[in-house]
Amino acid sequence: MSRYDLHCHSTHSDGLLAPAAVVARAIERGVDVLALTDHDEVSGLAEAREAAAAGGITLVCGSELSVSWGNITIHVVALGIDPQNAALTEGLETIRSGRTARARRIADTLANAGIPGAFEGAMKYVTSERLVSRTHFARFLVEAGYAREVKDVFNRYLTRGKPGYVAHQWATLPQAVGWIHAAGGQAVIAHPGRYDVSATGMRRLLSEFCDVGGDALEVVSSSHTPAQAVEFATHARVFGLRASCGSDWHGPEESWIDLGGLPELPAGVVPVWKDW
Ligand code: AMP
Ligand code: MN
Ligand code: MN
Ligand code: MN
């Protein structure tokens, strides 16, 4: 049986390793099918594809799109896309275009909270001039002694209601799914267990996602407990969505589960790779 890991990051967004190094680690860890899914970006895929071909594993071209849904941000993973598709690449460029201005606003709110120099501090950690993310701020805040590790920073600084959070408008759900489909890919709701919504809100999200043609739900994720995997497997069955699995790996020391270290999909779901 093949080992799938369909969600991870490289230096082309907020991961710590270059695409070829991510692929090398996946091979070492026994992954057979890997999707590289950098935030709002496809520029790392060429390097990843070459490394995967040389190493004898399958690389699925992916991305993780930032989406505003009501007043929360959700992530939609794209799998099996054509990275050259113009609708998709232009859409991703639109999503990325607000990031630097947002980073300035994040730095301003941190300055107001008594943390100076955060913009410059975060930029030191940026590895692609095309993309600055909250993760880069998190790494700066750890370096500057405001938190012990990146995993702690978000609870205290960069999430809603905390200093260092600013609201931001990303793509809409129909836009994101439309771009992914235009590029021949499947749209997957990433780590649903992370969203701050009620049970009713989750059903509303999944039903809107189905209405716009969404394909799958990330049932197994490093963000989920075993109980949540079972819960989201049920949601996938009820809503007729396929099931995906991804470690959401960002780098050594920064992730709960390593590449390829995920448990299997719960029984009774249709895997997102069924027709691959
Ligand atoms: P951004 O797209 O700039 O809003 O940054 C989002 C990224 O921050 C996510 O992809 C994660 O890598 C990281 N992140 C967000 N929330 C958390 C959290 N609670 N714990 C750890 N990392 C997080
Ligand atoms: Mn990330
Ligand atoms: Mn995400
Ligand atoms: Mn991710």
Quick: pLDDT tens for 147-176.
Answer: 998 888 999 999 999 999 999 999 999 999
| Residue 65 neighbours by CB under 8 Å, 6+ apart | 40, 75, 76, 77, 78, 91, 92, 95, 170, 171, 176, 179, 180
CA of 64 from ligand 4 middle (Å) equals 6
| Residue 73 neighbours by CB under 8 Å, 6+ apart | 66, 67, 168, 170
**Predicted local confidence at residue 106, as pLDDT:** 98
**Predicted local confidence at residue 225, as pLDDT:** 97
Q: How many Cβ atoms sit within 10 Å of the Cβ of residue 253?
A: 9
Q: If residue 220 lies in a helix (H) or strand (E), which one and from where to where?
A: strand 216-221
Q: Please determine, for residue 97, whether its predicted confidence score (pLDDT) is greater than 90.
A: yes
Ligand 1 neighbours by CB, cut-off 6 Å: 14, 39, 66, 133-135, 151, 154, 250
Q: Atom 14 (ligand 1): residue with closest C-alpha?
A: 135
User: What's the rounded mean pLDDT across residues 85-100?
Assistant: 97
The backbone torsions φ and ψ at residue 169, rounded to the nearest 5 degrees and listed phi first, read: -95, 115
- The CA–CA distances, whole Å, from 92 to 17, 122, 151 equal 22, 22, 27
Cα gap 227→267, rounded to integer Å: 13
**Predicted local confidence at residue 254, as pLDDT:** 86
Chain centroid offset of residue 45 CA? 15
**Predicted local confidence at residue 128, as pLDDT:** 97
**Predicted local confidence at residue 152, as pLDDT:** 87
pTM of the model: 0.97
User: What's the rounded mean pLDDT across residues 248-272?
Assistant: 95
Q: If residue 62 lies in a helix (H) or strand (E), which one and from where to where?
A: strand 58-69
pLDDT > 90 fraction of the chain, expressed in percent and rounded: 96
Q: Atom 2 (ligand 1): residue with closest C-alpha?
A: 133
Instruction: Give the ranges where 144-245 is alpha helix by DSSP (H).
Output: 150-153, 173-182, 199-211, 226-239
User: What's the rounded mean pLDDT across residues 190-219?
Assistant: 98
Q: Atom 17 (ligand 1): residue with closest C-alpha?
A: 154
Cα gap 136→14, rounded to integer Å: 7
